[in-house]
Amino acid sequence: MLSKNQIKLITSLQQKKQRIASQLFFAEGIKVIHELLESKFELVHLYTTQNDFQEVSNDKKVLIDDSELKKITALATANTCLAVFKIPSEKKIIDSGLILALDSVRDPGNLGTILRLCDWFGIGQLICSKETVDIYNPKVVQATMGSIARVNVNYIDLESFIVQTKLPVFGTFMDGKNIYKENLPQEGIIIMGNEANGISPTLETLIQNRLTIPRFGTLQKTESLNVATATAIVLSEFRRG
């Protein structure tokens, strides 16, 4: 059985301020929860409609019915399980290798997909401006499909970080150099910008290497690529070398 206080706490975690205050977040779905259980994240409680997750001790597992799950889910169609985890302390930034930086990316689906791309392409460090959507937003957690457990994420003042770094800094612009014709290094910082406005003007002045993904369409009418799609292309090119 779910108590009213449990329902109130879990549903409140859909709000960023409540996640910060309680230092908790939740994840839904068997795959995502299993990935988190096998990682650095500390489980607080697991709520499930099935007799599963045998590795979880009974004092942390609560069997509920479908109607109860519907009261706490953030999904349009409830899954079979939801788990509450503690938000871990941010780890020190790894200032080496390839680093991806996000400047005010606001869409949860985009951030979740970008985290999966970091995981796929072996990018261990993702740094985000403080205006970027919260990594522990339920929609972000869902979209990562477990990759949130394998990528180090930090929210920082991007301008200050870029000013002090010794790594080469790259950004994507409409008027940059053709990414397919550049010799790209295996170390550096790649900045991807906001969905509507791209990279902010203040950050743009700090970027030494301007890249573009050229358009091949005959009419050349498409204004831009989705930021997650563009990130996939850029990371693929850097890894291709």
Segment 40-50, tens digit of pLDDT: 899 999 999 99
Report the b/e string of 76-111 with b at 16+ CB within 10 A.
eebbbbbbbbebeeeeebeeeebbbbbbbbebbebb
Average pLDDT over residues 199-207: 96
Is the confidence at residue 220, as pLDDT, over 80? no
Specify the 3-state DSSP secondary structure of 200: coil
Assessment of whether the complete model's pTM goes beyond 0.85: yes
Q: Write the DSSP assignment of 16-44 as a string of letters.
A: HHHHHHHTEEEEESHHHHHHHHTSSPPEE
What pLDDT score does 116 carry? 97
Number of H helices, E strands in the chain: 9, 10
